[in-house]
Amino acid sequence: MATDYQAAEAELSTLRDFLRWTTSRFEEARLFFGHGNNDAFNEATQLILHSLKLPVTELPEIFLDARLCHGEKHYLLSLVKRRIEERVPVPYLTHEAWFAGLPFYVDERVLIPRSPFAELIDSQFSPWLQNASSVGRILDMCTGSACIAIALAMAFEGAEVDAVDISEDALSVAQINKNKHLLGDELTLIQSDLWAELNASRQYDLIISNPPYVGDSEMAMLPAEYHHEPDHALRANDNGLALVEQIIIGAAQFLTPQGLLFVEVGNSDLAVDERWPETHFLWLELELGGHGIFMLTQQQCIEFAATYS
């Protein structure tokens, strides 16, 4: 059924009206909810509250029966129309996404934060990392918006965090978020094709990476919402494993002797085990959902590099 936005603008009045109507339209349109919200109601709530400059962390009961003015209704409905007709994810409409309890600026130059790394950062990678206070240097490879790097800087106070990305556009967004969270020398943004521009003598206690890992066959099946995200940040050659291999090989040089490598590969987890069956990847179990993150020690990375370099 086609949505009559002009009729809605005339007939809807209160915040409660808009929340109910937008939820119904999102359900009717069979949207995909995979960029921070679980269902049509939460999606509608985030879009509406953010666009009205109301707190998005909880639904403000006091405002539910407040009437929207003409300009607010017109603007809100324009966003609802884009969400339905163009399948634009809500974070790109509001330019805000939440990760590890922190708000981040996002636009179509970067992926929308949704990594299960948030759970691991919150626990400081326990129990695999036994002494969080000993972490002095951290590397976030393929940083994008820098959401992981910034969350790491917040979780490991006193540590130096380097955030690397090949994309100048992505690093421009990362700089916005660095400024937003008032970070200084503790976070360094580096433009590099993986390890190419890094100081060869610099070593890290933790290397974290959420690289492009989606193969061509999986890309073809992704919902329309994902195609608003930068293709180069999602897709990887060699069935999604091309960058993963280079990251493991490079980590052999850049990890400290007690350092740990954590890499997210999502649905490419089976492909990883099939491609390198002799490498004993430790696949992490996540209590809050998500999958496809493995851990390797420095010694394992050295052995991998010796075999595949």
User: Where exactly are the structural domains of the chain?
Assistant: 5-94, 100-308
**pLDDT of 167 higher than 90:** yes
Q: Which tens digits make up the pLDDT trace of 245-292?
A: 999 999 999 999 999 999 999 989 999 999 999 999 999 999 888 889
Q: What percent of the chain has pLDDT over 70?
A: 99
Distance CA 13, CA 92 (A): 26
**pLDDT of 1 higher than 70:** no
The pLDDT value recorded for residue 216 is 86
pLDDT confidence bin for 2, thresholds 50/70/90? low
pLDDT confidence bin for 70, thresholds 50/70/90? very high
Residue whose structure tokens are 């595949």: 308
| Contacts by residues 25-31 (CB-CB < 8 Å, ≥ 24 positions apart) | 25/80, 25/84, 26/83, 26/84, 28/1, 29/84, 31/83, 31/84, 31/87, 31/225
Identity (one letter) of the amino acid at 144? G
Arithmetic mean of pLDDT over the chain: 94
Q: Which tens digits make up the pLDDT trace of 78-119?
A: 999 999 999 999 999 999 999 999 999 999 999 999 999 999
Distance CA 303, CA 207 (A): 17
Assigned architecture for domain 100-308: 3-Layer(aba) Sandwich (3.40)
Contact 115, 99 (CB under 8 A): yes
The pLDDT value recorded for residue 37 is 87
**Residue 30, CA distances (Å) to 5, 82, 90, 279, 299 in order:** 18, 14, 15, 41, 48
Cis, bond preceding 127 (omega within 30 deg of 0) = yes
Q: Which two tokens stand for residue 75?
A: 């603007």
Distance CA 4, CA 52 (A): 21
Q: Based on C-alpha coordinates, what's the Rg of the chain?
A: 21
**pLDDT of 60 higher than 80:** no
